[in-house]
Amino acid sequence: MFSALLINKTDAGQTVEVTQLDEAQLPEGDVVIEVAYSTLNYKDGLAITGRSPVVRKWPMVPGIDLAGTVVESSNPDWKAGDAVVLNGWGVGEVHWGGLAQKAKLKGEWLVPLPAGISARQAMAIGTAGYTAALCVEALEQAGVTPDKGEVLVTGATGGVGSVAIALLAKAGFTVAASSGKASEAEYLQQLGASTIIDRNELSAPGKPMQKERWAGVVDSVGSHTLANACAQTRYGGVVTACGLAQGMDFPASVAPFILRGLSLLGIDSVMAPKAKRLAAWARLARDLDLAKLDVIGGQEIGLSGAVDAATQLMDGKVRGRIVVNVNK
């Protein structure tokens, strides 16, 4: 038996509770993992609160991330004792996820826990930090370099934004952080932001072409924020889009793309191939200052605290990352 957060769907609505499950109930997979830590991402918050139909199979153990140790494997790539990380692949949506003490998964979904990063630190990074690393990798591969100008990070106090700032600053970029939380300016500067911008400057409808400001953008917000970021990006600049906190819409014009040669790159973390995952985690292991990670991912809860924390996350009351100790 093991403890897990379980979401059920009833005629009266959705229920969420910490319960005991039998290992025989675990879904199909060729690797069994003893989970040490998980985390709460935006998608987990949507699933747990029921504010969006993220869960597509019932009942469901949420948690799109986990870090732990292999205890049983019929997959040739993994053996008992291997330390592993999982991000995405529909886990927590159609396959039981990481907010449990045990998980059974496909070995092809896993990557090794990088040397020098603990299981707890990996979950302070989580999908949010891994996505941030994918964004930074994409900017560099598209030719954005520190000498070309500032890089804008939207949703800066969130998980993606926080890690993106730290990685970009480490790589030598000058970072402008957009946030609606004026009280968090010191936090953002600690991470490496040089300039703090009120998110209201970007969140309202704007002109299709605006003053050129950014060489690159990491956007986790979408909607008008993404449209304005594109309208303000310099000639030949690159915008990476990985989130929709403000909305799924994109009320923009083709003008910046045609007249300024702008590139808009979609960043998918869920189904990203293994090579991209390994590159992102290698960057995190190499470039992420773990002292800054302590600032980003300082909040730790147990399984019993996940429902309240998910509500706070959806209400915009969370800074950085929430780490879930599933054995706490």
Per domain, the residue ranges of the chain are: 2-113+298-325, 127-266
β-bridge mates for residue 5, sequence order: 18
Classify domain 127-266 by CATH number.
Answer: 3.40.50.720
What pLDDT, on the 0 to 100 scale, is given for residue 99?
98
Crossing angle (nearest 10°) for helices 119-141 and 159-170: 60
What pLDDT, on the 0 to 100 scale, is given for residue 299?
87
Q: Write down the H helix ranges in 142-289.
A: 159-170, 185-191, 200-203, 223-231, 255-259, 274-287
**Residuewise pLDDT in 10s, the chain (328 residues):** 999 999 999 888 899 999 999 999 999 999 999 999 999 998 999 999 999 889 999 999 999 999 999 999 999 999 999 999 999 999 999 999 999 999 999 999 999 999 999 999 999 999 999 999 999 999 999 999 999 999 999 999 988 999 999 999 999 999 999 999 889 999 999 999 999 999 999 999 999 999 999 999 999 999 999 999 999 999 999 999 999 989 999 999 999 999 999 999 999 999 999 999 999 999 999 999 988 888 887 689 999 999 999 999 999 888 778 999 999 9
Token representation of residue 182: 């004026």
Maximum separation of any 2 CA atoms in the chain, in Å:
61
What pLDDT, on the 0 to 100 scale, is given for residue 13?
86
Token representation of residue 306: 């996940």
What pLDDT, on the 0 to 100 scale, is given for residue 188?
96
Class of domain 2-113+298-325: alpha beta
Token representation of residue 288: 């992420």
Which burial class, exposed, middle or buried, applies to 154 when counting CB atoms under 10 A from its CB (0-12, 13-18, 19+)? buried
In terms of Cα–Cα distance, which of 80, 54, 70, 159 is closest to 110?
Answer: 70
Contact 173, 139 (CB under 8 A): no
Whole-angstrom Cα distance, residue 326 to residue 292?
Answer: 23
Which burial class, exposed, middle or buried, applies to 14 when counting CB atoms under 10 A from its CB (0-12, 13-18, 19+)? middle
What pLDDT, on the 0 to 100 scale, is given for residue 181?
87
